[in-house]
A and B are shown apart, each in its own frame.
Chain A
Amino acid sequence: MFSCNKDLDNLDVQSDAEFAFPLFYGKLDLEDIIQRTADSSSLKIDENGNMTFIYSGDLVSRTSKEIYSQIPPIPALLTDTFYSVPVKFANNIKLRKAKLTTGNLSFLFKSYHAQDVTLTITIPELQKNGKAYVLKRFVNYNGTVPVNETLLINDIAGWTIDTPKDTLNIRYEAIKADGNRDTLSEFGMLATNLQFSYVEGFFGYEVFPIKRDTIELEIYKNLLGGEVNFEDPKVTVTVRSSFGFPTRSQVVVAQFRGKNGQLFDLESPFVTNGFDFEYPDINSVGTTVITPFKFNKLNSNIGDIINANPIYLDYQINAIANPDSNTDIIGFMTDSSFFVVNVAVELPMVGRAKNFTITDEFQVDFGKLEDFKDPVFKLITESSMPIDLDLQLYFIGSDGNTLDSLFNDTKPVVKAAPIDALGNSIGKTKFEQYIPISTEQLSRIQNTKKILVAGSISTSNKGLTPVTIKANQGIEVKMGVVTKLKSKL
């Protein structure tokens, strides 16, 4: 019945009303920030909140099947009824004990006796259940001499070779049909296909090649400039070994590469001479021993290299078995023995940064920003991190062009928290910033599709003081705005 003749839904009300309201707030732990701006999978945090970037190479393993697939063949030519075969192989490999999973024995001989012969072969060092290996055979005389005989014993699996004196004794007894003991001629033996579940001995000096690999240092992915100095960078080589003999590293290559192609060789006595891997003793068969070796700034030039901000590490580290060729060291291995080598670059977050520049971008939806008129944003940061952060935002349009920037130049938005003499954060620093945006600027950035953030990070005292960055440190961010509003909000 009554109505107003103005359509308020479409009425444009021109007002100078100025509203103040909060936009967002939140506490960002450093862990969150790093997850957003860096390779979070590389960040390790201990129970005390200490953070370390760990960039790890591939796990490289070698197994006994790859290294020693089987015991070399053991040949013997018996010149008498009792004969000791020295069990020594090439490369000074000595066999003390082996539990066989497969194996073939072959005997061949000639009998010049014009009568039947009963043959008994005994090998005391080849045992099963405490009993020596005994083979009996009847050699039939068929009217002609010599009688050529070849005995093929295909399966000695489950037998154990036990040669404490590095010899294998073979004895045979040939009893003729008339009851007299005699000898046989050209008596030979060959043990082949000797695979084992356990073997004990000296396995010789052997170089085991390990695959070459590279490690990318993601922390520098977004680095545009500046300096970052880590106080205690490390290259760790972690070896897990269940081989029971000495092994030593052989660094073939350990070279860092800079962004511009410059090369930095890792230099250390341990690169030159190698370092020994720990291994289980003979009473610890089946256990795995870990060798955590670190190239650090005390034993190498890693400090200098890392602080040159390299982008990846190129490395190949082989393993040398029995590097000193000490045949007195009796080792062991099983058919499941292995070693695994892992190389990593560890960067504990203790150090200093100066104008360490990062960049990142994220999508935005400014939505009703068009309804703002001459807004003044108020940004409050309260940081427990001992770093200063200067920031610039670039507003990017749909076609990728830069529409505008937030500031004329990079401006500080976070101030470093106070620190103690050791560089540990001991409080918070609050910093307020008013950011006016003109209507003209607002119009320019209205169609922003993403924001490119360029940040410059410096640790306390303009990057001159080493500080400790911990996961529980963070920053509280709050933003509000005072703005006039256009009508249709």
Chain B
Amino acid sequence: MKITLSAILLTCFLMGNAQAPFYQVNSGLNAVGNSMISDILPEKKITLITGHYNLSAYHSAFSYGDFIKSENNSALEIDAKNAFSQLDANNDLWLDTEFKTLGIGFRLGKLGVGFQHSLTAFNVLNYPKDLFGLLFLGNSQYIDKEVQVGPQFTGMAYNSFGFGLGYDFGKLKLTGRFNWLSAAAGAQTKNNDVLLYTNPEFYQLRLTTNYELNSSNLINPDSLGESNFISRLSFDGLFKSNTGYSLDFAANYNLNSKTSIGGSIRGLGQINFNTNAKNYRSNKIINYDGIDIGNFITGDSLSLASTIDSLGDLLKFDESNRNFSIRLPFHANFHAQYAISSKLIGMAGMQYSSINDASFTSFTAGISFQPIKAIRLATNYTYIPSAPANIGLHCSFRFWLIELAGGTDNVLAGFDPKSTKYGTGYLGLRWIL
């Protein structure tokens, strides 16, 4: 059972404390602001970011509360049937966090130059409904059925050193950024066919696999069922030998004095893993019929423990040590805004992200209100097909040269995090010099 809690662990892995709400992809108002342009093409001469934490989580199916009925320090009571009923054939779990430790942008006339360092970790799990059903409801419901239980997974944790250039054409602002990436850990599945058939005769199991997992310091399939299945992650050291690059682009165009549109694409690149690179592959048909009773007859003793142990030995991977690469998740954003008055701005946008077979799409619309120059408040509604109820609240406060901004695209997650499938949160400090 602990194996299956690895999904929960993934949450823990990113969020530090599982009590935190499910969080957010950059889909809402935060994205509408299109911060990449302001990071590289500052409003004034210099913009300095001295810490900005951005966190998002999304599960396409059920919420934490749908699944965990009760909990204490030593026990979890789960409501797997309820969670199972809310699953689609394939389901996505996105966990994404970014911490900008330092960012600086210079405006040299119309030219902008920027540098940024950030720590990024993301995990995307795409899993079939029947995997959840197998792990949490058991395979007895699949007797005489063959079910696909192979999950897809991509996860990475890396340092990003970004060097950006931007140009202000007047109505049009264009920025681009090259990011040199240094990863502490990463893992990705390639083939994901794991078919389980439970024979109705006496429940013999047949596992047909064509599954491959590449991992560097992240997942140890040989420890399936043990607590070290997922490695503890460390960002110690900025420069790792797992290196890569990515390109980000953003643009904003003022249609007139009140209306502007913009968009960005990010994550065009990959990281090559060669540190502790391991490839786990299983491409075979495994039949398990239990223990041959002949041994029991001759041995004068029957050990049920050995039966269970041999069951656990079913899924063994062939291991090799080839380098591998993982493409970054692709993000695209489009937005528009309209200045209703000098203090009131209406905004709308959409966000699309994808990696492997997992994708995420959201639409948002909101209003920004600036009662005084130092304060800006905003609210937005974000529509996600599987999580339609998301009300965002955002606030920025400017004092002297400092701007403190924070918010969420789903404030409801703050009040009732366990009932939330989607949540975001950010908090950052920016110097405008």
Contact = CB atoms under 8 A, between A and B. Distances in A.
Interface of A: 1-6, 8-28, 32-33, 36, 362-369, 371, 378, 380, 451, 477-482, 484-485, 487-489
Contacts of B293: 24-26, 28, 477
Given A17-B135, A484-B138, A32 B201 contact: no
B77 A14 contact: yes
A97 B261 CA distance: 137
Contacts of B234: 1
A13 B297 contact: no
Contacts of B235: 1
A24 B296 contact: yes
Majority DSSP secondary structure for residues of B touching A? mixed
A369 B300 contact: no
Contacts of A487: 1-2
Contact of A15 (B8, B17, B136): B136
Pick from B73, B139, B204, B304 the residue with the most CB of A within 10 Å: B304
Q: Which 10 A-B pairs have the closest CB atoms?
A: A367-B305, A4-B12, A26-B293, A480-B202, A480-B203, A22-B290, A20-B203, A17-B138, A18-B138, A19-B138
Contacts of A8: 2, 5, 9, 227
B2 A364 contact: no
A367 B9 contact: no
Q: Which label, helix, strand, loop or mixed, suits the secondary structure of the A interface? A: strand
A270 to B, nearest CB: 42
Interface residues of B, number: 60
Given A11-B5, A16-B137, A1 B233 contact: yes
Given A20-B139, A24-B296, A369 B202 contact: no
Contacts of B306: 367
A71 B292 CA distance: 68
Contacts of A17: 1, 80, 135-138
Contact of B78 (A13, A369, A477): A13
Nearest to A364: B302
B203 A378 contact: yes
Contacts of B17: 5
Contacts of A22: 202-205, 288-290
A383 to B, nearest CB: 14
Interface string B203-242: 1110000000000000000000001000011110000000
B101 interface: no
Contacts of A365: 301-305
A28 B297 CA distance: 8
Interface in B301-339: 301-308, 311
B305 A368 contact: yes
Nearest to A10: B74
B141 interface: yes
A33 B233 CA distance: 56
A478 B203 CA distance: 10
Given A5-B18, A28-B293, 17 more contacts: A3-B232, A8-B227, A13-B2, A13-B76, A15-B80, A20-B198, A21-B139, A22-B203, A22-B205, A25-B289, A25-B291, A26-B296, A32-B298, A363-B301, A364-B303, A365-B304, A367-B308
A413 B12 CA distance: 51
B143 interface: yes
Contacts of B303: 364-365, 367
23 contacts: A1-B233, A4-B18, A6-B18, A8-B2, A8-B9, A12-B76, A14-B77, A15-B136, A18-B137, A18-B141, A20-B143, A22-B204, A22-B288, A25-B292, A28-B293, A28-B294, A362-B301, A363-B302, A365-B305, A366-B305, A367-B304, A367-B308, A480-B204
